[in-house]
């Protein structure tokens, strides 16, 4: 049986929104509302601006913007002009941008004015549109791209190296929005709080979801635990998307009248810990719906509509999902592998790196268990990768920075259970001279994003090694008892 049809592109989802009624509200932010027509007009102006500024048709465009409605218009302008989108997070450092440009060179960028210096520090040479303008004079009609065409290259942390550029097709990005609509039970009566950064698939998917379903997006600049429920109440949000760490952070906030003063009935996302799941539902009166997926597979692969705690549910009808042991044989517990049931739902590969799709199956590097009722439960990760506050962090990225310190001979980063969220980072250091952990992290802070900063530092005389002389990370303790600890997100120590 063939799976149901899907919208083939973000441009098509925009056309659906136009047909439904351009006067419908699409976005709100800071008390102001933008209709479908408003955002469509901004996108049209930006298409003309890009042509006027000499942005080559078909050439990738680096985008480094804050969360605001004009950012959404930029994404739609690129989607309706056939220019691939290269999203970069607003908190990225020059070294990380330099890596992205090395993987996918481009001479076109749209950035906030304050990011010009960061871009220059990354060695970017080309046309920069900043400050952003949507004042193009000559109308440029939108195009309808092919489903398999490249829509974006989204960088996601690899397992043993720096971030990899995932090729995201037109179909993949549109499908992620369609799947978000299913998981979020979206419709014209619903308002979703959009707190996720738009360079991340978790934020980007919400655009297509709203266009296709008629739901409204209430945008905020970023997630802030202290004001989160007030924002939910003030925006009239009825739906939320979460990452596991967000639930834990909100649970640690003191009780507030806003805990149940909101209108949210349903939240969907990934990473809800079993201990948090029911406690969150009971405190905030919100139904949690867990999913599993990754950027490489249109964001969503499974859905736990039955709401069994600890389960990631069953495969969506557009995918086959199997579990394989280390020898590649079917197993009741093993690596999750995914096969598409219609074209262009899995990535065609990474830019400049080996494809994770082998023989039609995407190898996720994640481990799951199949329970007696056929549902899947997430077990852990095969990757040398940590999950910190919803972000994948390759150990390689952290180790490469710390190893550059003159007093560090060698280091190894591992994930440990977090007090909030999925994991924190513990780094083991073999030093060549006396080294204060606080000094080490202060030195590293300009080179690492906040989610890449280690929480714990331990010192060793040497490492146990594999036959190939690699550090045997399995032998490193994950206990943090007695280990030096960084307090909070900033460099405050105890």
pLDDT tens for 169-197 read: 999 999 999 999 999 999 999 999 999 99
Tokens describing residue 77:
């302008």
Cis peptide before 331 (omega within 30 of 0): no
Alpha-carbon dihedral 170, 271, 224, 92, rounded to 10 degrees: -50
Q: For 84, which DSSP code?
A: P
Q: How many CA atoms lie within 13 A of 87 on its CB side?
A: 27
In this prediction, residues 417-423 reach a mean pLDDT of 85
Please tell me the predicted confidence (pLDDT) of residue 386: 86
Residue 335 has pLDDT above 50, yes or no: yes
Please tell me the predicted confidence (pLDDT) of residue 134: 64
End-to-end distance of the chain based on CA atoms, in angstroms? 59
What is the pLDDT confidence band of residue 46, given thresholds at 50, 70 and 90? very high
Give the sign of the dihedral formed by CA 344, CA 348, CA 350, CA 354.
positive
> 117-161 pLDDT, tens per residue?
999 999 999 999 987 766 656 788 999 999 999 999 999 854 345
Please tell me the predicted confidence (pLDDT) of residue 469: 58
Instruction: For residue 23, count other CB atoms closer than 10 A to its CB.
Output: 9
Nearest-angstrom CA–CA distance, 76 and 79: 5
> 10-367 has which fold?
Rossmann fold (3.40.50)
Of 117, 249, 264, 71, whose CA–CA distance to 185 is shortest?
Answer: 264
What residues does CATH 3.40.50.12780 cover in the chain? 10-367
Residue 258 has pLDDT above 80, yes or no: yes
**Pair 420, 390: CB distance under 8 Å:** no
Q: 468 or 377: which carries more pLDDT confidence? A: 377
Per 3-state DSSP, the chain is made up of helix, strand and coil in percentages (nearest 5) of 30, 30, 40
Residue 212 has pLDDT above 80, yes or no: yes
What residues does CATH 3.30.300.30 cover in the chain? 385-493
% of the chain at pLDDT higher than 90: 77
Residue 6 has pLDDT above 80, yes or no: yes
Please tell me the predicted confidence (pLDDT) of residue 276: 87
- CATH 3.30.720.200 assigned to 385-493: no
Residue 493 has pLDDT above 60, yes or no: no
Instruction: For residue 255, count other CB atoms closer than 10 A to its CB.
Output: 8
Cis peptide before 2 (omega within 30 of 0): no
Please tell me the predicted confidence (pLDDT) of residue 328: 94
In this prediction, residues 365-370 reach a mean pLDDT of 91
Residue 239 has pLDDT above 60, yes or no: yes
Q: 205 or 471: which carries more pLDDT confidence? A: 205
Give the sign of the dihedral formed by CA 468, CA 469, CA 475, CA 481.
negative
């Amino acid at each position: 049986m063939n799976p149901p049809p899907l919208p083939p592109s973000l441009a098509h989802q925009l056309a659906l929104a136009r047909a439904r009624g351009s006067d419908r509200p699409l976005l709100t932010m800071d008390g102001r509302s933008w209709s479908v027509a408003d955002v469509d007009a901004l996108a049209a102006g930006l298409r003309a601006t890009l042509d006027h500024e000499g942005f080559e048709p078909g050439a990738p465009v680096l985008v480094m913007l804050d969360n605001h409605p004009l950012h959404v218009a930029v994404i739609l302008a690129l989607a309706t002009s056939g220019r691939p989108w290269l999203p970069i997070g607003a908190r990225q450092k020059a070294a990380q941008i330099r890596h992205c440009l090395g993987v996918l060179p481009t001479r076109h960028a749209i950035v906030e004015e304050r990011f010009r210096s960061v871009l220059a520090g990354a060695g970017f040479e080309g046309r920069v549109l900043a400050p952003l303008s949507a004042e193009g004079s000559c109308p440029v009609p939108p195009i309808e791209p092919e489903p398999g065409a490249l829509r974006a290259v989204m960088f996601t942390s690899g397992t043993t190296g720096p971030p990899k550029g995932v090729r995201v097709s037109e179909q993949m990005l549109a499908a992620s929005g369609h799947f978000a609509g299913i998981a979020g039970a979206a419709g014209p009566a619903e308002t979703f709080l959009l707190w996720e950064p738009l360079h991340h698939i978790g934020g980007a998917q919400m655009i297509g979801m709203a266009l296709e379903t008629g739901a409204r997006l209430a945008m905020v600049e970023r997630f802030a635990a202290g004001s989160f429920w007030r924002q939910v109440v003030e925006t009239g949000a009825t739906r939320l998307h979460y990452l596991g760490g967000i639930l834990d952070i909100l649970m640690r906030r003191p009780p507030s009248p806003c805990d149940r003063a909101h209108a949210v009935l349903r939240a969907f996302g990934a990473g809800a810990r079993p201990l948090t799941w029911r406690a969150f539902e009971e405190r905030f009166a919100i139904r949690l719906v867990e999913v599993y997926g990754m950027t490489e597979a249109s964001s969503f692969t499974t859905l736990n509509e039955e709401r069994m705690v600890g389960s990631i549910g069953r495969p969506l009808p557009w995918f086959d999902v199997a579990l394989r042991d280390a020898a590649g044989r079917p197993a009741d517990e093993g690596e999750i592998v995914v096969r598409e049931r219609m074209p262009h739902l899995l990535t065609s590969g990474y830019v400049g790196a080996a494809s994770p799709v082998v023989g039609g199956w995407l190898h996720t590097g994640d481990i799951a268990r199949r329970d007696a009722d056929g549902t899947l439960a997430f077990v852990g990760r095969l990757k040398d990768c940590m999950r910190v506050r919803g972000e994948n962090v390759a150990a390689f990225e952290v180790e490469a920075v710390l190893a550059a310190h003159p007093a560090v001979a060698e280091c190894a980063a591992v994930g440990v259970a977090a007090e909030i969220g999925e994991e924190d980072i513990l780094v083991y250091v073999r030093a060549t001279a006396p080294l204060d952990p606080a000094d080490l992290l202060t030195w590293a802070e300009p080179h690492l994003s906040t989610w890449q900063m280690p929480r714990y530092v331990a010192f060793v005389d040497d490492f146990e090694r594999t036959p190939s002389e690699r550090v045997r990370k399995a032998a490193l303790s994950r206990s943090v008892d007695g280990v030096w600890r960084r307090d909070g997100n900033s460099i405050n120590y105890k």
